Amino acid sequence: MKIKIYLMILIVMFCAILNAQSVFSFYGPAVISYQRDAYGDGMGGTGIGNTFRPNTSLSNPALSTTIEVTHFATALSMGYIHYKDSEKHSFRDDQLYLPYFNIVFPIKHHRVGINIHNVSSARLDTESKSSVTINEEAYDITEIQRVDFTLFKAGILYAHKNDFVNIGLGFNYLFGHNTRYSRQRFEDPAILSNSFEIDHAFKNPTIDFGLTKGFERFSTGLVFSLPVDLKGESYYRTNTLDQYMDDEVYQYPARMSLGVTVKAHEYVFVSSDIDIELWGNTANFDNSVDTFRMGLGVSWEGDRNSRNFVAKIPLRAGISYRNLPFELNDSKINEMAYHIGLSFPLKQYDSYLECAVKFFNRGDVSQHGYSEDGILFTIGTSGFDFFRRPTDRKAPRDIPVPDRRF
């Protein structure tokens, strides 16, 4: 048990240092998590209203009512992105991050959970070489630019399961930082290199409201997240200076989400989700715009009674579309993605290894000057009731004595 607890702590610690990357990071957070679990990521990023399975998506706190035993879920996402620009330059970047950690405890008709997940991130390092003339002498110089933005949400959830409608509340704490770094490094060691850094940290609580309702062949979910101003301090640092600048505010917008799932066949389900975030009401970056995201997915849950091994494997596929929360060159930056996924049942009852693959493309070189495409692999686990004691088949037990009659 101690090893498992230590593993959970390590996962939470890693969440605070790993994040995703994008060529648009200097303009704002291009990578935004819509808080679906690994299962939903393989189904077009859907699942906000899917009550037909143990659903560990953090987007809707009411989904925890689908959990009947203590349930643990986490995931690891990794992949690469290929960048292009209008001058036909291109390069590749790798990425690795932990998107979420979630554990839910059922207590009769109540559910209580704790979670942490990556809300949005932006990271990019650029380096260019040039020369400058000082006192009629040319010197080689390397210019380094770096942006590192992370935003996390940690909190507790409560949900109540009843026959009319399932209700969920998420009491969350948002925290993150935004660091911009620049350095001019001269190849001649006799010339002092210049650097500066602006570091902005922010935090504040917020609340999510969620509902789910399930029928025999149809289920739906609805979520609303309150907007909040994340407050913090900003520092300006140079080679010789570390100065407090001012209190800063990062505005996190209101979010509304709606999802539906239809049981089209005994083993086939179709889901569709819509997410709207009101980034246009914020002033975090230039040309802020509201975002719209739509996902559509279909799943084959697998026929465990089939003699065909392939027919037993749960499979999923889907597509998603969204726009980024800022414009570039007066044009919206859109993302199109294709998702596939599958599940592997594990030895412990109702525990699974979930796998998802996402192929995506963002931006257009002719309109924005940049574009990127890539692939992202997500491997998640769900289940693992740590508090259920396994049956002890070695313990002594009474052996019934036959009733001997003559």
Share of the chain above pLDDT 90, in %: 50
Strand partners, 306: none
**71, 382 in Cβ contact below 8 A?**
yes
Q: Could you tell me if 92 and 80 are in contact, meaning their C-beta atoms sit under 8 angstroms apart?
A: yes
Give the max Cα distance, the chain.
Answer: 121
pLDDT in tens, 290-331: 999 999 999 998 877 777 777 778 899 999 999 999 999 999
In DSSP terms, 208 is beta-bridged to 170, 225
Give the mean model confidence (pLDDT) for residues 92-112: 89
Query: Residue 348's pLDDT is what?
Result: 65
Average pLDDT over residues 267-293: 94
Concatenated DSSP letters for 44-106? TS--TT--SS----TT-GGGGGG--S-EEEEEEEEEEEEEEETTS-EEEEEEEE--EEEEEEE
**What is the average pLDDT value for the chain, to the nearest integer?**
85
Domains assigned to the chain: 2-383 (2.40.160.60)
Residue 4: pLDDT band with limits 50, 70, 90: very low
Comparing 12-21, 78-87, 293-302, 326-335, the range with the smallest average pLDDT is 12-21
Report the 3 state secondary structure along 167-190: EEEEEEEEEEEEEEEEEEEECCCC
pLDDT by residue (tens digit) across 187-200? 767 677 778 888 89
pLDDT, position 97: 82
Percent share of the chain, pLDDT over 70: 87
Q: What is the pTM of this model?
A: 0.84
Q: What is the pLDDT of residues 209-219, one digit of tens each?
A: 999 999 999 99
Quote the pLDDT of residue 397: 56
- Is pLDDT above 80 for 14? no
CA 197 remoteness from chain centre: 27
Average pLDDT over residues 46-63: 92
- Token pair, residue 238, equals 């140079």
Question: Which of 143, 151, 96, 80 has the alpha carbon at shortest distance from 122?
Answer: 151
